[in-house]
Amino acid sequence: MPMAERVAIVSVAQTKYHPNRADVNEEELAYEAIKQVLQETGLTLSDMDSAVTCSQDFWDGRTISSMNIQHVVGAHLGHEDNISEDGINAVYAAMGQILSGHQDIVLVEAHTKESQGDKSLIENAAFDAILMRQLGLDFTSAAALQARRYMYKYGITAEQCAKVAVRNRGNAKNNPFAQEPMDISVDDVLGSKMLVSPIRLLDAKPISDGACAMILAPEGKAKKLTKSPVWILGASNCYETHYLGDRDLADCDALVKAAQKAYSMAGITNPLRQIDVAEISTEYSYQEPLWLEGLGFCDQGEGGKLVDSRATNMGGKLPVNPSGGVLPGNPNGVAGMARVAEAVLQLRGEAGDRQVKGAKVALAHGYTGICGQHQAVMILGNM
C-alpha cells in the first residue's frame, strides 16, 4: 500500500536559551515559541488538528505535565498527546500521525525549565531502583563512566573532547538563540573545573530553560503554508539496555540501529558524502565523537580522528552543530527538537551567520536517558 504524502515541517521556533527564566511559567515559556510559528504560518490554534507535546512530570514538578500547556497548544476539546522522551521523538510521533492520514496539521512543542528542579535528584530517579539508584548516580556521573570507557577503549583524548567544546561554543556565537557562546581554547577547557572525571565544566552543558515549537503538515497543505517546506525523509529511534554493565559503554548500538533505519528510509548509503550538515545532541564533549561513530560518519573508534581532521568544523566536509548544539545550553527534552529546528533553518537558507551554504540534506539527532539509552535520528531535505 503506498504511503501517504510526504510530511513537511513548515515552521519552527525556539526561545533564546537562558539559565533561569524566572519570569515565566511553563505555559508562557511554551507560548513564546508557539506564538512565533503561528505568526509565521498565519495559522491559529484552531487550525491545528492535533498537538504533540514533550515534557516530563519530573522536570515540571507535577503529575500530568502536559496539563500545564493545554491552553497554549489549543487542546480545548482537541487532540493532544504527550511524548515523554527527548523532543525529537515528538516530531517523529507527529510525523506518524500525519502519515497515517488521520491528522493533517500538527503542532509540536517541547519545553523544560531545568532551573526549577534539582537535576541530580531528578536524574537519579531514572536509575533502576533496586540495583543502581542507591549508587547516587545522575546522568553526568553516568556520562563520566561512559566517557572514561570510551576514551580508554579507543584512545580518545581529553584534547580531542576539548576541541569539540571549543568548536561548539565558538559556533554558538553565530546563533542568536544560544545561551553560552564562548571564545575559548583547548587549554581553557582542560583548565576548567573538574565536574566528574573526565568531564570538566566547559565540557558540559549548563542548566538551561527554553522551549521549541514547530508545525508539521502533509505535502499538499505544506506547500500552501510555506514557500520552503522541509521534508522528513527518514526517521527512527531505538532503545538500548538499561543496566550500565549490560553494554559496552564505548559503543552505541542503539544509535547505529536508529541511524540505519533512518538512512534506509531516506536513501542514504554514504552518510559522510550525502549529508550536508548535522545537528547532533551533545551534552558532554565526549559524546560528539562517540555519536559520530554511531551515525556512521566514521568507523568505530575513529571519532577522535574525525574531530582532529576538522571535517566537522564550519567549512569542513560535514559541519556538525553550526548552531553550537546542546553544549552551550539547551534544556533536556527540548534539545533534540531544537536540533530539528536548526536543521530546518539550514535547509531553508535561514540560518544567518551559521548557514552552511547550499545545504540540501540535514541530519538531526536527539537522545534520552542514561548514557543515551534511547537514541533518535531524523533525516531532512529541502527538495
Partner 1 sequence: MSKESPNKKAEGPEYIRIKFDAPRPYNWSTGKYLGKVYAEAKENKKLVSNRCPQCKEIWLPPTPVCPKCKVDMGWDWVELPQTGTVYQYTYLVYPLWDPHFGEKWANPYPSATILLDNGVFYRHWIEETDKEKLRVGMRVQAVWKEDYDERGQGVQDILYFRTIEA
Partner 2 sequence: MPNRVAIVGIGQTYHTGSRDDVSQPEMVAEAVRAALADAQLSIKDIEGVFSGNMETFEGIYLPDHGMAAEVGAFGKPGFKVNTGGTTGASVVTEGFYMVSSGLYDLALVIGFEKQDCGDTTAAISAAAVPTWAKGAATGAIGEFAKQALAYLETSGAKEEHAAMVRLKADRNACRNPYAHLKLGLKNIDEVLQSPYLVWPLRLMDFCPQSCGACALVLASEKRAKNIHKKPVWIADVEVVHQEPFRAGVFGDPTGKETYTQHVACERLYKRNGITNPRKDIDMAEIYEPSNWEELNLYEHLHFCDKNEGWKLIEKGITEIEGEFPVNPSGGVIATNPIGATPIIRVAEAALQIRGDAGEHQIAKDIKTAMATALGGPNWTVLFLLKRSL
Q: Determine the Cα angle at 26 with ends 24 and 30, to 5°.
A: 95
Residue 323 is placed in which grid cell?
Answer: 548552531
Residue whose CB is less far from partner 1, 5 or 28: 28
Please choose which of partner 2, partner 1, none residue 145 contacts, taking the beta carbon within 5 to 8 angstroms, the exact cut-off set by kind: none
The binder of partner 2 chosen from 240, 251, 283, 288 (CB under 8 A):
240
Q: Which residues pair with 11 in a beta bridge?
A: 215
C-alpha 68/C-alpha 167 separation (Å) is: 36
Phi, psi of 283 (to 5 degrees): -85, -30
**Distance set, CA 66 to CA 53, 56, 90, 109 (Å):** 7, 8, 13, 10
**Binding string, residues 168-197; x marks residues near partner 2 by CB under 8 A:** ------------------------------
Shortest distance, position 49 Cβ to partner 1, whole Å: 13
SS3 362: strand
Asked if residue 165 binds partner 2 (CB under 8 A), the reply is no
Of 130 and 383, CB closest to partner 1 = 130
Instruction: Identify what 183 binds: partner 1, partner 2, none; CB under 5 to 8 Å per kind.
Output: none
Report which DSSP code applies to 327.
Answer: T
Residues at the site binding partner 1, with contacts judged by CB under 8 A: 21-25, 27-29, 31, 35, 44-46, 58, 61-62, 70-72, 74, 76, 113, 115-118, 121-122, 125, 129-130, 133-134
370 binds partner 2 (CB under 8 A): yes
Q: Which helix (H) or strand (E) holds 53?
A: strand 50-54
Q: How far is CA 126 from CA 191, 242, 318, in A?
A: 31, 10, 34
**Comparison of 113 and 257: residue with beta carbon closer to partner 1:** 113
Are the C-beta atoms of residues 310 and 275 closer than 8 Å to each other?
no
How far apart are CB 106 and partner 2 at their closest, in Å? 10
41 vs 313, beta carbon nearer partner 1: 41
Q: If binding is defined by CB under 8 A, does position 1 make contact with partner 2?
A: yes
- How many amino acids of this chain bind partner 2 (CB under 8 A)? 68
Q: Name the minimum Å distance from CB 301 to partner 2.
A: 21
Tell me the closest approach of the beta carbon of residue 139 to partner 1, in angstroms: 15
Long-range contacts of residues 352-359, Cβ cutoff 8 Å, at least 24 apart: 352/174, 352/176, 353/174, 354/171, 354/174, 354/175, 354/314, 354/322, 354/323, 355/322, 356/276, 356/277, 356/314, 356/319, 356/322, 358/276, 359/276, 359/277
The amino acid occupying position 254 is: A
Nearer to partner 2, 117 or 198 (CB): 117
**Is there binding between residue 140 and partner 2 (CB under 8 A)?**
no
Considering only 23, 44, 77, 315, the residue that binds partner 2 (CB under 8 A) is 77
B/e letters for 127-158, b = 16+ CB within 10 Å, e = fewer, are: beeeebeeeebbbbbbbbebbbbbbeebebeb
CB closer to partner 2, 79 vs 153? 79
Residues 344-363 that bind partner 2 (CB under 8 A): none
Residues that bind partner 2 (CB under 8 A): 1, 3-4, 25, 50, 56-58, 61-68, 70-71, 75-85, 89, 92-93, 95-103, 122-123, 125-130, 236-243, 246, 253-254, 257-258, 261, 368-370, 373-374
